[in-house]
A = this chain, B = another copy of it.
Amino acid sequence: MEKILKAEIITIGDELLIGQVVDTNSAYIAKELNSIGIAVCRITSVPDVRQPILDALKDASQRAEAVLITGGLGPTKDDITKSALAEYAGDRLVMHEETLRHIEAMMAARHIAMNPLTRQQAETPEHAVVIPNRCGTAPGLWFEKDGVVHVSMPGVPFEMKAMMREEILPRLQPLSSGAIFHRTALVYGIAESALAMQIERWEAQLPSHIKLAYLPSSGMIRLRLSASGSNRDTLEKQVEKAIADLRPLLHHHLLTADAASPEELAGQLLTERKKTVATAESCTGGNIARLLTSIAGSSGYFKGAVVSYANSVKTQLLKVRPEDIARYGAVSREVAEQMARHVRMLMSTDYGIAVSGIAGPAGGTDEKPVGTVWIALADTSQVTARCYHFGNNRENNILRASNAALNMLIEELKKEKQE
């Protein structure tokens, strides 16, 4: 019988509770834990205050078998996680010589003098296992209390990530004998409730260890199958089978069953077809370029972008005819098409994507309200454009326009295959 270890995450820092910083660490940790068959049952964020930290530790360890903690390990007075953990473990802080030497070497390399505060970073609870921090001065800590594993990591994301990958996951993996497997299908062009009705019977027939979730976002729906059991390969096969049964029910609405995002799918298709792309972006402000370049290996198919915020950039760099801007407006089929064509030529790519729209909150007119977006796609022989009407929300308009543009490219790349 498999044993899926139950974990909780505690993130510590006033900045999280006042909304100055978004907690991105929890999602990273949860994803990594899932990949080695550990489930996360609760995430808790508490301020840099002793009692709430102690309460959160006590609560979590009554429910979970492993508690992963980040934050509050800095050298300054506001950071108290280490002393709270020592108190919680009934331990005392002592100088850890190996960590001290590591900190001294780091400081020397950066030409920064040691001081009492940096020295104090090397103190650790006497009975905890000290986890080296290759990227920073705050060491990680690992200790057990009442049979529950507690792991403390720094809150700086890249320090935490390196420690998680290199030190924590290899130590946690043997503790879980279960497996968790997720696959996300991207569905486009159908409302969530209509989708749910359409696949109702398929959903009812899913095995009980496979859970279905609907995640609507910016005009798309991510349909996720999550399976848990004893063997990852078996789970993967069962999920693949379910997806195969799903395909005929969704027709062209199913963009892909094998990519987490449209930018990932676009990247896969561009790589397979050996095609390149460039973007010309007005209202999306470079967001499509950012999405495309967020994928490792994107330099193989993404050549560059022109962000043309000002109309002068549209006319001078993207060779949009000024008379067309005057006649049709910057948000028009004519302008979007010229942007797409010219960015493709400028960057010598197979495809050029262009977006020109009114994201809001200002800039709307009766004829072209906020949310009006023209998206054009140029290839070597032609250019096509579509007009979208999204809504009133600036943030959502940028996201939806980016997804719609990537979807246009994906549709075109899929046609390419069939030819």
Residues of A within 8 A of B (CB): 14-24, 26-34, 39-48, 52, 56, 59, 74-79, 110, 112-113, 115-118, 121, 135, 156-158, 161-162, 180, 182, 184, 191-194, 196-197, 203, 211-217, 222, 224, 226, 260, 278, 285-287, 289-290, 293, 298-299, 302-310, 312-313, 316-317, 346-348, 391-393, 395-396
Nearest residue in B to A317 (C-beta to C-beta)?
Answer: B346
The answer to whether B15 and A215 have CB atoms under 8 Å apart is: yes
Nearest residue in B to A312 (C-beta to C-beta)?
Answer: B348
The answer to whether A20 and B306 have CB atoms under 8 Å apart is: no
Given contacts A41-B17, A41-B47, A299-B310, contact A76 B304 (CB under 8 A): no
The answer to whether B14 and A21 have CB atoms under 8 Å apart is: no
CA distance A7 to B395 in the complex (A): 27
What are 22 A-B residue pairs whose CB atoms fall within 8 Å in the complex? Answer: A14-B213, A16-B26, A18-B31, A18-B34, A19-B26, A19-B29, A19-B31, A19-B32, A22-B23, A42-B46, A118-B193, A121-B193, A286-B289, A289-B307, A303-B313, A304-B309, A304-B310, A304-B317, A312-B348, A313-B347, A316-B348, A317-B346
Partner of A310, one of B14, B46, B52, B303: B303
Of A27, A197, A393, which is in contact with the most chain B CB atoms at under 10 Å from its CB? A27
The answer to whether B192 and A74 have CB atoms under 8 Å apart is: yes
Nearest residue in B to A44 (C-beta to C-beta)?
Answer: B44
The answer to whether B34 and A19 have CB atoms under 8 Å apart is: yes
Q: Is the interface of A mostly helix, strand, loop or mixed?
A: mixed
- Cβ contacts under 8 Å, A48 to chain B: 213
- Cβ contacts under 8 Å, A299 to chain B: 309-310
Given contacts A14-B226, A43-B17, contact A347 B76 (CB under 8 A): no
Partner of A307, one of B213, B307, B310: B307
The answer to whether B306 and A304 have CB atoms under 8 Å apart is: yes
Nearest residue in B to A348 (C-beta to C-beta)?
Answer: B312
The answer to whether A216 and B156 have CB atoms under 8 Å apart is: yes
The answer to whether B78 and A214 have CB atoms under 8 Å apart is: yes
Distance (Å) between the CB of A312 and the closest chain B CB?
6
Distance (Å) between the CB of A116 and the closest chain B CB?
8
The answer to whether B40 and A17 have CB atoms under 8 Å apart is: yes
CA distance A192 to B103 in the complex (A): 14
Partner of A19, one of B30, B113, B135, B193: B30
The answer to whether B47 and A45 have CB atoms under 8 Å apart is: no
CA distance A392 to B194 in the complex (A): 47
Partner of A312, one of B17, B156, B347: B347
Distance (Å) between the CB of A64 and the closest chain B CB?
12
The answer to whether B303 and A305 have CB atoms under 8 Å apart is: no
- 5 closest cross-chain pairs (CB), A and B: A19-B31, A19-B30, A285-B293, A286-B286, A117-B193
